[in-house]
Structure formats: structure tokens, C-alpha cells
Amino acid sequence: MFFFVAYSYGCVQPDSNVEVTPKMITGTWILDSALRDGTPTESLDGLFYTFEQKKVVSNITGDTNETMFEIQGSKIVHLNDDSMVYQIETLNDSILKVSSNIHNIPFELKFRKFDSTTSTDEHGDLQESDGLK
């Protein structure tokens, strides 16, 4: 019973009463899959976000940039030039699923938590290993 209560407190689902905090999303999240207007897309392959307190490092614009972010309820507001807003659909210790409109096109993005033990190849690209939870 204790496990169930602890697990449900740490897991955010749509219409959940769990308040999202920056600590809950701290770390690096690597794109696992994406839907563009309901259709699978590879146009965002390689996308990542690294959240630290109020700072986020991401390559959403094509280049890796550091900007600020804030949590507003169950939304992540990426305070870049376009102030992108991501609705958190699912959040637990290994999965972050968000939805957003990018240039007026609906996207659903599923990220996996990056573990510091993940290996990279000689080009710095992530390797499929136990590093992605």
C-alpha cells in the first residue's frame, strides 16, 4: 500500500492533482518519439532538454541554447524567443510526455530520462544502452 501511495504521488497524469515542481523535471530528457498532427515524425530526432532549477538547455531551435523556464501548474513554459508552452501529459522518474503547438501544429513529444551512465560514440551521439531509463 505504501508503494502505491508513493508511486502515485510521484507520477503526473492528465487532470492529476499533483503539483509539478522544477525538481520533478530536473535532469536531461531525450526524445523517444514524436507525433506531428497525430502522425509519427522523425523531424525532431535528437531533441533533448536539460532542466536545472529555472534554467533549461535545449536544441529545440536547431542550435543548443540555454534559456530560462518556469512551471505554471502542469505546464512547462520555455522562456525562449517564442515562449513555448508544453502541457505535461505524463511525468514519472523515467518518462516525460508533453503536448504543444509548434508553429500552430500540434505535437506530442515523449521523452526518456537520460542517466549519466549512458554511453556515447566517437561523435558524441547517444548509444542505445542502459543509460536511457
Predicted confidence (pLDDT) per residue in 87-99, tens digit: 999 999 999 999 9
- Whether residue 128 lies inside any domain: the answer is no
d(CA 64, CA 37): 25
pLDDT exceeds cutoff 70 at 130: no
Average pLDDT value for residue range 47-72: 93
For 15-55, what is each residue's pLDDT tens digit?
Answer: 556 689 999 999 999 999 999 999 999 999 999 999 998 99
3-class state of residue 8 by DSSP:
helix
Distance, CA of 60 to CA of 108 (rounded, Å): 14
Position 103 scores a pLDDT of: 86
Number of domains comprising the chain: 1
Within a domain: residue 120?
A: no
Identify the domain containing residue 94 by its residue range: 2-113
d(CA 24, CA 53): 10
Query: What is the per-residue pLDDT for 78?
Result: 87
User: Which domain CATH number covers 30?
Assistant: 2.40.128.280
Please report whether residue 126 resides in a domain.
no
36 residue type, one letter:
R
Total-model pTM: 0.76
Q: Which of 2-16, 51-65, 91-105 has the lowest mean pLDDT?
A: 2-16
Give a yes or no: residue 101 inside a domain: yes
Q: Is the residue at 64 inside a domain?
A: yes
Please name the helix (run of DSSP H) or strand (run of DSSP E) that holds residue 84, with its range, or none.
strand 84-91
Q: Give a yes or no: residue 81 inside a domain.
A: yes
Q: Is the Cβ–Cβ distance between 85 and 10 less than 8 Å? A: no
For residue 132, tell me if it sits in a domain: no
Q: What is the pLDDT of residue 14?
A: 53
Instruction: Tell me if 74 is assigned to some domain.
Output: yes
